[in-house]
Chains A and B, each alone.
Chain A
């Protein structure tokens, strides 16, 4: 897949503080790419630089083959929601979208379509300040979709949404990606990105720590086997079996957790039986994105 966004040594300094430090990454076309990092990692600053709102101290990036020094060349094809939805509190949802539609020269019919799409048609005439957080987020997504974009850049789009709202946004993003829109979405809800993101860019302290397919990040870490015998004393025997097979293990929460591939489960069961142990638990656990994330950022859950 060709890169729809590519950043090369993108850097932003505020005095002594380096908010984004020589960041380089490529976002493939037609996919959902997650932008992951803890608070203060430089995600929003990077997004602002991509949108021409913040001038880089060094480096460059290209969106749809145009340099970010010429935002007027690519922004007509880009939809964005940055750091939560920002609208005029005294204007209605519809009127807020019309302000942006007029500015971008999009027809008002598009506003109505999008209000329908994000489920705000029945509250279109209500003032923005009366909206719930979920409704505000949905209006923000509608505004981002106004230009019928080729690239959608969303900063924390599910922030503050309830589970049903998160599910709706997830389905919406998947449908948009399936229709050919490339989506670059930042989120601190890692489980969300695990579900929807095809690719990931992981940043921390302004640096890129990982970029690639989500499955590659998850595959880079071995699954774990959780085992338990009928007697508490079995745990020590099971640990000996794991060690003899060359796998690390630890006893936690009255079970033995062995870092080993799924294929070892059968062998373990056989050896345990041979040692007179009846297994009451044999469970394969794959690492979550959250665990992988903390492993590569060196943080703790």
Chain B
């Protein structure tokens, strides 16, 4: 498993993927967080979907990582894309056969790849958190935001649990991406179909059918990142997501282990 993990990291660390992904994550988390502060008193709002986040809200212990939380959804879609592409490309490049000749235990190969990509996802979450918190600390004084509550024990505890939940959510999205990558064996189809379902179809369904969002995997996974939901509890989101992931993961693992490698 360790050999697979280290082998996978030789691919993950290629500059276009490694620096490109982390660069995008850092840039977007800084941008989204900066908008919270820069647009603080703007009439159109400064939060996602025109929400107004006041100076007082930002001064709360949770203000330290509010920008980071707002970025969690994007981290999930990035994780989904990376997991799906890294898995499906093995089929389209024909490299899976090389990997299986060198590591014929398919479960070990799959497990090692998964753990490697989870570690990559952890890196994106940490980089995003550092970027977001860093820019928050820089911009807060310029907007007269009281940051005393940011440096308290409760703020740090909330931060750790928030980073953990965002990571869990990213892993959940990534697992879906990997599963779809194995099932479809094409990076473009895997990413486009997954994102179309999660970002568009689920949005329409949850908006048009009352109460449906508690049954939709994408909605549940995003609620994990938010640490709580209005009508849907965190535990419900966690258990619901786990059930979906067990189903997706089970199908994908069975296919990966049993299916002939004919390309």
Contacts and interface: CB of A to CB of B under 8 A. Distances in A.
Interface in A88-105: 88-91, 95, 98-100, 102-105
Interface in A142-175: 143, 146-147
A91 B11 contact: yes
A52 B261 CA distance: 9
Contact of A103 (B7, B93, B94, B260): B7
Interface of B: 3-4, 6-7, 10-11, 14, 16, 89, 93-95, 97-105, 258, 260-262
Nearest to B106: A52
Contact of B104 (A45, A52, A55, A147): A52
Interface of A: 45, 48, 51-55, 71-72, 75, 78, 80, 82-84, 86-91, 95, 98-100, 102-105, 143, 146-147
16 contacts: A48-B260, A51-B97, A52-B100, A52-B101, A53-B100, A53-B101, A72-B104, A75-B104, A87-B95, A91-B11, A100-B7, A100-B98, A100-B99, A103-B102, A103-B103, A143-B98
Contacts of B95: 86-88
A117 to B, nearest CB: 18
Given A54-B261, A102-B7, A105-B3, A86 B97 contact: yes
B3 A102 contact: yes
Q: Is the interface of B mostly helix, strand, loop or mixed?
A: helix
Contacts of B103: 103-104
B14 A90 contact: yes
A89 B260 contact: no
Contacts of B4: 103
Contact of A53 (B89, B93, B97, B105): B97
A90 B13 CA distance: 11
Contacts of A71: 104
B99 A103 contact: yes
B10 A98 contact: yes
Contacts of A82: 97, 101
A103 B3 contact: yes
A87 B3 contact: no
Contacts of A105: 3
A100 B93 contact: no
Given A52-B104, A53-B97, A102 B10 contact: yes
Contacts of A89: 93
Given A78-B101, A100-B98, A103-B102, A90 B262 contact: no
Contact of B102 (A84, A87, A100): A100
Contacts of A75: 101-102, 104
Contacts of B94: 83-84, 86
A82 B95 CA distance: 10
A82 B261 CA distance: 11
A54 B105 contact: no
A99 B7 contact: yes
List the 5 closest A-B pairs by CB distance, nearest first: A86-B94, A71-B104, A103-B7, A102-B7, A104-B102
A163 B180 CA distance: 44
Nearest to B259: A55
